[in-house]
Amino acid sequence: MMGVECKSLQIIQTVRELESVLNRDFRMGKTVGFVPTMGFLHEGHLRLIETAKEHDDIVVMSIFVNPAQFGPGEDFESYPRDLENDIMKAEKAGVDILFIPTAQEMYPSDSGIRILPGPQADVLCGSKRPGHFDGVLKVVLKLFNIVDPDRSYFGMKDAQQLALIETFVRDFNLRTQIVRVSTVREEDGLARSSRNVNLNASERLEAPSIYRALLIGAENFDAQKSPQDIEREVVELINSNTSGEIDYVTLLSYPSLTAITKDSKEVILACAVKFTNTRLIDNIIMSTKDGFHVPNDDEQ
């Protein structure tokens, strides 16, 4: 069996083999960094790999389009896939072990046991995707148990997912440490996403306006404007500069995803916008430093 000392990319497709390769006897005291993905790799994923390589001795990446997190009518079948290109990118980026299981390998049976994510899943994207985060936490728990990573790396673009996973790891005493990695953006500010390929030419020109609107919202937050005024202005900016349909623009405490209070230490300004063939999400997470002054009715 090829152990973790190999310098070239090792591709593994079964749970049993991966668990054998990453057995603590084979690790020889080395730390393992884990980058879970659904493939169709872009610069955002490569930044996760780069960050993992800075902190850990062995970098494991998974590519698995998880059917458990797609609801009826969602884009599981059309989700972009390019495994051959993904393998080349992973190898070039320095991934040590690439885990590419099938759905049957990950879910050989269904006992009916479910993970209920709680109120964090009932806002933002989760409010219109019932069961989505059940599926996310299900696959994340399985992958954490299989890989047993010292650190796991997640991009901040999927901020609701990140908040749920951080809470899940904390509340259930999972061994891995969650590492936040900043969103990677195109030169015009559009957040890198596998779904950007589904934008048509005019939508692609419009899409950077989403982030520009969030930046103005962040400026208004620093100016201590009310959450309602901040949300309202971001909505107006997106509506004025894109043909997309807004799902939500919301300012919340982070990572609890609850209403902002004077005790909030971090807040998130998040949005989702639907275009013809895809839905884009983006956010800005801000520190409140000395706490946020929540205006009362007389000040608004």
CATH number of the domain to which 60 belongs: 3.40.50.620
Whether residues 133 and 223 fall in one domain = no
Taking alpha carbons only, the member of 256, 214, 260 closest to residue 237 is 214
Confidence of residue 288 (pLDDT cuts 50, 70, 90): confident
Q: Has 1 been labeled as part of a binding site?
A: no
Query: In whole numbers, what is the pLDDT of the chain averaged over residues?
Result: 92
Global pTM? 0.90
Answer yes or no: do 219 and 176 share one domain. no
Active-site position among 45, 55, 132, 293? 45
> pLDDT tens, 96-150?
999 999 999 999 998 889 999 999 999 999 998 899 999 999 999 999 999 999 9
Q: Is residue 296 part of a domain?
A: no
Do 202 and 110 fall into the same domain? no
pLDDT tens for each residue of 44-99 = 999 999 999 999 999 999 999 999 999 887 878 888 899 999 999 999 999 999 99
Please report whether residue 253 resides in a domain.
yes
For residue 45, indicate whether it is catalytic: yes
207 and 96 within one domain: no
On whether both 63 and 201 belong to a single domain, the answer is: no
115 & 211 share domain? no
Q: Which one of 151, 181, 211 terminates a domain?
A: 181
**2 annotated to bind ligand:** no
DSSP track, the chain: ---TT--S-EEE--HHHHHHHT-HHHHTT--EEEEEE-S---HHHHHHHHHHHHH-SEEEEEE---GGG--TTSSTTTS---HHHHHHHHHHHT-SEEE---HHHH-S----------GGGGSGGGGGSTTHHHHHHHHHHHHHHHH--SEEEEESSSHHHHHHHHHHHHHTT-SPEEEEEPPPB-TTSPBP-GGGGGS-HHHHHHTHHHHHHHHHHHHHHHTT--HHHHHHHHHHHHHHH-SPEEEEEEEEETTT-S---TT-SEEEEEEEEE-SS-EEEEEEEEE-TT------TTT-
Q: What is the extent of the structural domain holding 275? A: 194-287
Total structural domains within the chain: 2
Q: For residue 42, say whether it is annotated as part of any ligand binding site.
A: yes
Q: Is 99 flagged in the annotation as binding?
A: no
43 labelled as ligand-binding? yes
Q: 69 labelled as ligand-binding?
A: yes
pLDDT band at 4 (very low <50, low <70, confident <90, very high): very low
Residue ending a domain, choose from 133, 158, 181: 181
Do 133 and 107 share a structural domain?
yes
